[in-house]
């Protein structure tokens, strides 16, 4: 039976995840592999959040929940966004979604006609092109170069937007995989292009609580951008709730109205007891969120101290998120070959930069998602390995 081309072509082919799966196989075969490849906490959801989830479930909140999100959660998200951005945001600006991933799909579905171009920045979170395809769009990447600290050049965005008649631009700050944070000037310049080319700006801010240097600015708060920006947020990273699948879109009320309609016809909302747990977490104050995020700051500092002792393996400053992107071009190897050789020789799994597009070729991404001692050990061995390869 024939399947749709849309589904057959979704993932775009390629074997960008080969090293990741090879590491998984080694682990399954009982080998001792240090996995620095997965963007997920090495600890479970904090107990108070799980207690709130259990109380809600045992209290009976197990039926269909309000589809755009329960009132208390929409209000809590709106408050969080108003407080952090200064932009007046109400429950009508918020749609609760099953995680940031679902929000990315919904946002592109809202703004792209079939066949229209959605731009995104390379290097990118691995699902971006497939998500744009799933929403019927054509994904086209704009390279952000290592020599620019992996910030996009706005002239490139403007040129590609004109050439492709793009309808949207997807950005991500703090960034996976680079750890870069886009400052107000970069965001304002991006905003000007979006205004000039009449692009929707889809701003993936799922790492907004993981900021180690400077501060996070949401482009929705910049002049003229509130009405053309759709912000994607999530409980996954800030509260270690990756498996609970709860996130959101914040945007103009009209968009949220139509996206609620999409939710009725696709996800049918998010379980009520999970939403109640999210209400608890967001209301618990900054301490809980800081507790979840603190290990990644500490490990970022640890990684930086190790990297500063040598200058073969370089890195742009990891300003946020849970990753360090290492430049291993001095070894003469591609990111893919380096990652495979490191796995074979040292049983250390990292993600090749090429898994995130072309712009991070010759790099590898280290996820700071193992305990401090394992990270120190793995990075020390990685640097020694790079030295041996560089001769």
Ligand X SMILES: Cc1ncc(COP(=O)(O)O)c(C=O)c1O
Query: Residue numbers of the site for ligand X (CB under 6 A)?
Result: 39, 99-101, 125, 172, 176, 204, 206, 234, 236, 242, 247
To the nearest whole angstrom, how small is the minimum distance from the Cβ of residue 102 to ligand X?
A: 7
Residues 108, 110: Cα–Cα separation, whole Å: 5
User: Which one, 158 or 231, has the nearer CB to ligand X?
Assistant: 231
To the nearest whole angstrom, how small is the minimum distance from the Cβ of residue 58 to ligand X?
A: 26
Distances in Å between the Cα of 179 and the Cα atoms of 253, 297, 320 are 31, 11, 5
User: Which one, 232 or 313, has the nearer CB to ligand X?
Assistant: 232
To the nearest whole angstrom, how small is the minimum distance from the Cβ of residue 341 to ligand X?
A: 26
Tally the residues of the chain: 391
279: left (phi over 0), alpha (psi -120 to 50) or beta: alpha
Side-chain-side CA neighbours of residue 372 (13 Å):
12
User: Which one, 34 or 232, has the nearer CB to ligand X?
Assistant: 232
| Segments of 14-87 assigned E as strands | 34-35
To the nearest whole angstrom, how small is the minimum distance from the Cβ of residue 54 to ligand X?
A: 21
End-to-end CA distance of the chain: 54
Per DSSP bridges, beta strands 94-97 and 138-143 are unpaired
To the nearest whole angstrom, how small is the minimum distance from the Cβ of residue 8 to ligand X?
A: 24
User: Which one, 91 or 123, has the nearer CB to ligand X?
Assistant: 123
Contact by Cβ (8 Å): 212, 320: yes
User: Which one, 211 or 306, has the nearer CB to ligand X?
Assistant: 211
Residues 122, 1: Cα–Cα separation, whole Å: 36
Residue 277, helix vs strand vs coil: helix
User: Which one, 248 or 385, has the nearer CB to ligand X?
Assistant: 248
User: Which one, 242 or 331, has the nearer CB to ligand X?
Assistant: 242
To the nearest whole angstrom, how small is the minimum distance from the Cβ of residue 389 to ligand X?
A: 29
Spell out the long-range contacts of 257-265 with Cβ–Cβ below 8 A and sequence spacing 24 or more. Answer: 257/92, 258/110, 259/68, 259/95, 259/106, 259/107, 259/109, 259/110, 260/67, 260/68, 260/95, 262/106, 262/109, 262/110, 263/67, 263/68, 263/95, 263/97, 263/106, 264/67
Q: What's the per-residue H, E or C state across 350-369? A: CEEHHHHCCCCCCEEEEECC
> In 10 A of CB 327, how many CB atoms?
18
User: Which one, 65 or 106, has the nearer CB to ligand X?
Assistant: 106
To the nearest whole angstrom, how small is the minimum distance from the Cβ of residue 16 to ligand X?
A: 15
User: Which one, 89 or 242, has the nearer CB to ligand X?
Assistant: 242
To the nearest whole angstrom, how small is the minimum distance from the Cβ of residue 99 to ligand X?
A: 3
Q: Pinpoint the alpha helices (H) of 243-320.
A: 253-265, 272-283, 286-308
């Amino acid at each position: 039976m024939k399947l749709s081309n849309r589904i057959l072509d979704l993932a775009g082919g390629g074997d960008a995840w080969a090293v990741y799966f090879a590491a998984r196989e080694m682990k399954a075969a009982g080998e001792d592999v240090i996995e620095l490849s997965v963007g997920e906490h090495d600890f479970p959801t904090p107990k108070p959040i799980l207690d709130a989830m259990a109380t809600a479930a045992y209290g009976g909140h197990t039926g269909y929940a309000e589809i755009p999100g329960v009132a208390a959660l929409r209000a809590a998200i709106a408050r969080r966004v108003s407080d952090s951005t200064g932009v007046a945001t109400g429950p009508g600006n918020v749609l609760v979604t099953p995680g940031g991933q679902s929000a990315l799909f919904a946002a592109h579905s809202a703004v792209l006609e079939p066949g229209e171009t959605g731009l995104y920045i390379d290097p990118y979170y691995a699902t971006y092109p497939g998500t744009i395809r799933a929403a019927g769009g054509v994904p086209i990447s704009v390279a952000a170069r290592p020599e620019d600290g992996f910030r996009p050049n706005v002239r490139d965005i403007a040129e590609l937007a004109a050439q492709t008649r793009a309808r949207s631009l997807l950005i991500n700050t703090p960034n996976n995989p680079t750890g870069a944070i886009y400052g107000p000037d970069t965001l304002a310049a991006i905003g000007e292009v979006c205004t000039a080319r009449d692009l929707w700006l889809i701003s993936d801010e799922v790492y907004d609580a993981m900021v180690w240097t400077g501060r996070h600015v949401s482009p929705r708060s910049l002049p003229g951008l509130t009405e053309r920006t759709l912000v994607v947020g999530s409980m996954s990273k800030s509260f270690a709730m990756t498996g609970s699948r709860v996130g959101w879109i914040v945007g103009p009320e009209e968009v949220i109205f139509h996206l609620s309609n999409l939710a009725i016809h696709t996800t049918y909302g998010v379980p009520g007891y999970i939403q109640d747990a999210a209400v608890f977490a967001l209301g618990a104050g900054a301490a809980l969120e800081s507790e979840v995020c603190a290990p990644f700051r500490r490990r970022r500092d640890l990684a930086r101290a190790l990297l500063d002792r040598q200058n073969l393996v370089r890195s742009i400053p990891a300003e946020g998120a849970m990753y360090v992107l290492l430049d291993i071009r001095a070894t003469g190897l591609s990111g893919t070959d380096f990652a495979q050789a490191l796995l074979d020789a040292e049983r250390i799994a990292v993600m090749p930069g090429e898994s995130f597009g072309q712009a991070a070729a010759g790099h590898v991404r280290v996820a700071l998602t193992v305990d401090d001692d394992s990270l120190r050990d793995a990075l020390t061995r990685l640097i020694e390995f790079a030295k041996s390869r560089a001769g």
